[in-house]
Amino acid sequence: MMTVTFGGERLTLAGEQLKVGDVLPTVTAFDNNMLAFNTSETNGSRVFLTVPSLDTPVCDLEVRTFNERAAELSGVSIYCLSVDLPFAQARWCGSAGIESVKVLSDYNGAEFGRATGTFIKELALLTRAVFVVDAANQVVYTEYVSEITEQPDYDAALLAVKKIAG
C-alpha cells in the first residue's frame, strides 16, 4: 500500500493504485448540480485529476494550470475530482473562471478515490494524482504526487496526453 506525505507526515492511501495498462474504473461522482456522473459516460482522450480541496492554494493553482494548458489541446477532456461538496465546487469554478476542466465531487463515499487508490484514510480526502486515459479506456500515464503540498509534473502529463490525442 502506497503512502504519501502531507507536510512531511506519512499518510495511507486506501484502494489499489492505478498503473499504466489498467482500465479506468467505472464509478459515479457528482457534478456541480448534484447530478450523478459516471466515468463510463466519458470517452476519447481524458485526464483525471484528484486533489484534496479546491479551496487550497496548491489545488487552486493546479486546476487553473490544467485549465489554461487544456486550451492548447484539442479533443481532450479534463476532469478534476475532490471530496468538496458540489455547491462549493460550483462557487469555486465560478470565481476561478474554470471552463476547460469539468469539476466533479467524490463526497458521497469517495467511490472514485477508493477505486483509484487516491483516498487518504487519515483525512478522508483525495490525494493529489493525475491519470491520463486513452480512447480505449486504458490508463496510459499515472502520477501519485508523493508530497501532497507539491504540484504534479504538468509537462509529463501533457506529453502523455499529446501522444494519445494527436
Catalytic positions, written as ranges: 59
10 Å CB burial of residue 48 (0-12, 13-18, 19+) is: buried
Distance between CA atoms of 72 and 70, rounded to whole angstroms?
5
Q: Cell numbers of 141, please?
A: 500515464
* Cell matching residue 101: 476542466
For residue 93, list its beta bridge partners: none
Q: Which three cell numbers stand for residue 148?
A: 501532497
Which residue intervals of 29-74 are DSSP H helices? 57-70
Nearest Cα neighbor of 52 from 63, 64, 42, 36 is 63
Number of residues in the chain: 166
CA–CA gap between residue 74 and residue 24 (Å, rounded): 21
